[in-house]
Amino acid sequence: MAVLTQKYRLDLASEATSKATRLGLSPFASQYAPRPTLEEVISGLPLLTHETALLGICEDGVPLLLDLHNPSPGALLIIGRETSTAVNLIEVIHQSLLIVNNRFTLELFRVSDSIPATPHPLEHRISPYERDLESTLRHLADIANARQNGKMRGPSIVLLIDNLEWALNADPEAMWALEYLLHYGPNQKIWPIVATTLDQESVRLRWLRRFKTLIWAADLSPDVKRQFNLPEHPYSSTLPAPHCFSLKSQGQWLHIWLPEQS
C-alpha cells in the first residue's frame, strides 16, 4: 500500500503461532480465537523503522503501517460509536510508537483525561481540562509554521487527542491552531490523530471535512453506516466490533483489526 503504509508479512514466533496458525482468515473461525499481542505483531515484523506507527492488521494478515515520513494520508480522524471505541485504536498507535522510537526520532503529545503516574519519557501528557491544551495546539502550530520556512527541523511529532470535543471547546486562537495543524501538519511531520463520536452535529458538518483520512469503527449504528455508505467489516461478527475498523485508501476499503494489548 503506497498511501498509508508499507505492508510487511507477519512471521510470528512459535508461541504466537500456537495461538493461531496464520494471521488471516483462519484464526477467526470462532469468536473465541485469540488475537496476537501488539508486542508479538511488532516483533514478528522483518523490519520496522523509526517514525512508523501500527494501525492494525489487514484481512490478509499483513500489518497496516503509517509512515510518518509520508504526508499523503494527512490528519487522521477515528470515529466510533463510543469515544472508548476510537481510543482503542489511539492506544495501539500510541504503544506502537513508544516501542520502536527514541527521543531523536519522535516527540509524542497525548491529550487524555487519563494521566499516568509516570509518563513515558517520549511523551507529554496533556490534560484536556487545563490551559495546557490550548498552549500545546498553539506551540505545535508555531513549529509547523517554522518548519514550513525551513527552520526547526527535527523528529516526527504525533499529537494524539482522545476526544475531538475537547479541542472544539478550546479558545478561538487554539481552534485556529488546530485547523492549521490539520491542513499543514503532516507535510511538516506533525501528525494530528484524533478520536471522536458522531454525537455532535458540528462534527458531522464541519470537522469530517478537515481530516484527510477517516477511520470508521465497526460498532457504529446501522443508520450511520447507511448515511456514510460504510461497508460491513468482515470480522465484526467473530471479533469484538470495537476492535475492528475500516478506512478508504486509493479508492478501496481496507478492513483492519487490532491486536491485543498486554
The structural domains of the chain, ordered by start, are 14-257 (3.40.50.300)
Does residue 140 or residue 15 have the better pLDDT? Answer: 140
Look at 13-17, 154-158, 193-197 and tell me which has the smallest mean pLDDT: 13-17
Radius of gyration of the chain (CA): 18
Could you tell me the three cell numbers for 173?
Answer: 486562537
- 241 Cβ contact partners less than 8 Å away, ≥ 6 residues apart: 217, 218, 219, 233
Q: Which residue has the cell 499516568?
A: 116
Burial class (CB in 10 A: 0-12, 13-18, 19+), 91: middle
Let me know: does 35 contact 239? Beta carbons within 8 Å.
Answer: yes
Higher pLDDT: 121 or 185? It is 185
pLDDT greater than 50 at residue 32: no
Averaged pLDDT, 138-161? 92
Dihedral, 84, 110, 103, 158 alpha carbons, nearest 10 = 80
Q: According to the model, what pLDDT value does residue 7 have?
A: 41
**Across all residues in the chain, what is the average pLDDT?**
84
pLDDT for res 90: 97
* Beta carbons of 112 and 166 less than 8 angstroms apart: no
Distances (CA, A) of 229 to 57, 148, 224: 22, 37, 8
- Mean of the pLDDT values across residues 119-125? 87
Q: Tell me, what's the pLDDT at 133?
A: 95
Average pLDDT score over residue span 43-66: 85
For helices 132-148 and 172-184, angle between their N-to-C axes, nearest 10 degrees: 40
Q: Are 178 and 137 in contact (CB under 8 A)?
A: yes
Residue-level length of the chain? 262
**Does 242 score more than 50 pLDDT?**
yes
pTM over 0.75, yes/no: yes
What average pLDDT score do residues 239-261 get?
A: 92
**Beta strands at 213-217 and 76-79: parallel, antiparallel or unpaired:** parallel
- pLDDT over 80 at 145, yes or no: yes
More confident residue, 144 or 5: 144
Calculate mean pLDDT across residues 73-90. 96
22 pairs with which residues across the strands? none
Name which of 25, 45, 41 is nearest 33 in CA terms: 25
Q: Please say if the pLDDT value at position 66 is more than 90.
A: yes
Contact yes or no for 122/107 (Cβ under 8 A) = yes
CA distance 256 to 261: 16
pLDDT of 109: 97
User: In this model, does residue 10 exceed pLDDT 50?
Assistant: no
pLDDT band at 122 (very low <50, low <70, confident <90, very high): confident
Q: What is the mean pLDDT of residues 207-225?
A: 94
Closest CA to 79 of 189, 164, 181, 206: 164
Tell whether the model's pLDDT for residue 140 goes beyond 90: yes
pLDDT value for 236: 86
Alpha carbons 83 and 85: distance in angstroms, whole number: 5
pLDDT band at 12; cut points 50, 70, 90: very low
Confidence label for 262 from pLDDT (cuts 50, 70 and 90): low
* Rounded Cα gap, residues 73 and 87, in angstroms: 19
**Dihedrals φ, ψ of 54, to 5°?**
-85, 130
Q: Which three cell numbers stand for residue 200?
A: 455532535
